[in-house]
Amino acid sequence: MHIKPALSVFARGLLIPALAWLGLVTAAGAATNAPAAEPIPIERFFQRPALLEAQLSPSGKQLALTTSRGSDRVGLVVIDLASGEAKAMRAASFSDVDITQFAWVGENRLVFSVLDLQAGGAEDRRYAPGLYAVNPDGKDLRQLVRRQGTPFVSNGNSLNRALEWNHVLLHVPLQQDGVTPEEVVVGKMNFGRDQIESVVPIWLNTRSGRIRSFDLNAPPHTVSWMFDSRGEARVAGTLSGGRQALHWRGPGESKWRQLSESDVLNTPFTPSAVDDAGNLYVSFSEGPEGYAVLSRFDFEKGAPLMPALVTTPGFDFSGSLVLDRIGARALGVRVDTDGEQTVWFDAGMKRMQALADEVLPGRVNRLNCRRCGADDMVVLVRSYSDREPGRLYLYEAATQRWQPVSRVLDDVEAKQMATVDLHRIKARDGRDLPVWLTQPPGSKAGQPLPAVVLVHGGPWARGGHWQWDAMAQFLASRGYLVISPEFRGSTGYGSAHYQAGWKQWGQAMQDDVADALLWAQKQGLASDKACIAGASYGGYSALMGLVRHPELYRCGVAWVAVTDPFLLLEGSWWVEDDSNGLARKHMLPQLVGEADKDAEMLKANSPLLQAKQIKAPLLLAFGDADRRVPLAHGERLRAALREAGRPPEWVVYADEAHGWRQVSNQVDFARRVEKFLGQHLLQAGAH
Final residue of a structural domain among 165, 194, 211: 165
Check pLDDT > 50 for residue 1: no
Write down the pLDDT at residue 309.
Answer: 93
If pLDDT is split at 50, 70 and 90, which confidence band does 233 have?
very high
Check pLDDT > 50 for residue 245: yes
Write down the pLDDT at residue 4.
Answer: 30
Beta strand 378-384 pairing with 391-396: antiparallel
Check pLDDT > 60 for residue 11: no
If pLDDT is split at 50, 70 and 90, which confidence band does 20 have?
low
Write down the pLDDT at residue 6.
Answer: 29
% residues pLDDT > 90 (the chain): 79
User: Which range among 117-131, 278-292, 378-392 shows the weakest confidence by mean pLDDT?
Assistant: 117-131
DSSP 229: T
H or E segment and range at residue 496: helix 495-499
Mean pLDDT of 363-378: 93
**CB 581, CB 192: distance < 8 Å:** no
Write down the pLDDT at residue 123.
Answer: 65
Final residue of a structural domain among 165, 182, 203: 165
% residues pLDDT > 70 (the chain): 90
Q: Chain-wide mean pLDDT for the chain?
A: 90
Cα 78 from chain centroid? 25
Confirm whether 580 is domain-assigned. yes
Report the distance separating Cα 540 and Cα 570, nearest Å: 17
Write down the pLDDT at residue 433.
Answer: 98
Report the distance separating Cα 263 and Cα 241, nearest Å: 9
CB atoms within 10 A of CB 5: 6
Closest CA to 239 of 209, 263, 271: 263
Write down the pLDDT at residue 232.
Answer: 93
Question: What are residue 63's DSSP bridge partners?
Answer: 56, 79
Write down the pLDDT at residue 432.
Answer: 97
Write down the pLDDT at residue 33.
Answer: 43
Confirm whether 1 is domain-assigned. no
Check pLDDT > 70 for residue 150: no
Confirm whether 643 is domain-assigned. yes
The domain spanning residue 136 has which CATH number?
Answer: 2.40.128
Write down the pLDDT at residue 172.
Answer: 94
pLDDT tens-digit series, residues 310-362: 999 999 999 988 877 666 678 999 999 999 999 999 999 999 999 999 999 99
Q: How many domains does the chain have?
A: 2
Mean pLDDT of 589-598: 97
**CB 405, CB 24: distance < 8 Å:** yes
Residue 671 structural domain: 417-682
User: Which range among 144-153, 442-451, 495-504 shows the weakest confidence by mean pLDDT?
Assistant: 144-153
If pLDDT is split at 50, 70 and 90, which confidence band does 10 have?
very low
Mean pLDDT of 583-609: 96
Check pLDDT > 50 for residue 544: yes
Final residue of a structural domain among 123, 150, 165: 165
If pLDDT is split at 50, 70 and 90, which confidence band does 124 have?
low
Angle at 482 between CA 479 and CA 488, to 5 degrees: 170
DSSP 564-599: -HHHHHH-BTTB-----HHHHHHTHHHHT--TTTTH
Write down the pLDDT at residue 280.
Answer: 95
pLDDT tens-digit series, residues 623-670: 999 999 999 999 999 999 999 999 999 999 999 999 999 999 999 999
Report the distance separating Cα 259 and Cα 272, nearest Å: 14
3-state SS class at 90: strand
Write down the pLDDT at residue 686.
Answer: 58
Q: What distances in angstroms separate CA 481 from CA 33, 196, 424, one per listed residue?
A: 19, 43, 17
Mean pLDDT of 119-131: 76
If pLDDT is split at 50, 70 and 90, which confidence band does 581 have?
confident
The domain spanning residue 564 has which CATH number?
Answer: 3.40.50.1820
Check pLDDT > 60 for residue 598: yes
Write down the pLDDT at residue 307.
Answer: 95
pLDDT tens-digit series, residues 502-527: 999 999 999 999 999 999 999 999 99
If pLDDT is split at 50, 70 and 90, which confidence band does 533 have?
very high
Q: What distances in angstroms separate CA 87 from CA 136, 194, 379, 540, one per listed residue?
A: 11, 49, 19, 52
Confirm whether 610 is domain-assigned. yes
pLDDT tens-digit series, residues 28-76: 443 444 444 589 999 999 999 999 999 999 999 999 999 998 888 999 9
Confirm whether 304 is domain-assigned. no
Write down the pLDDT at residue 126.
Answer: 58
List, edge to edge, every strand of the sheet that includes 257-263: 222-227, 233-240, 243-248, 257-263
Question: What are residue 66's DSSP bridge partners?
Answer: 53, 76
Write down the pLDDT at residue 445.
Answer: 73
547 φ/ψ angles, rounded to the nearest 5 degrees: -80, -50
Half-sphere exposure of 54 (CA within 13 A, CB side): 30
Beta strand 649-653 pairing with 618-623: parallel
Check pLDDT > 90 for residue 682: no
**CB 550, CB 615: distance < 8 Å:** yes
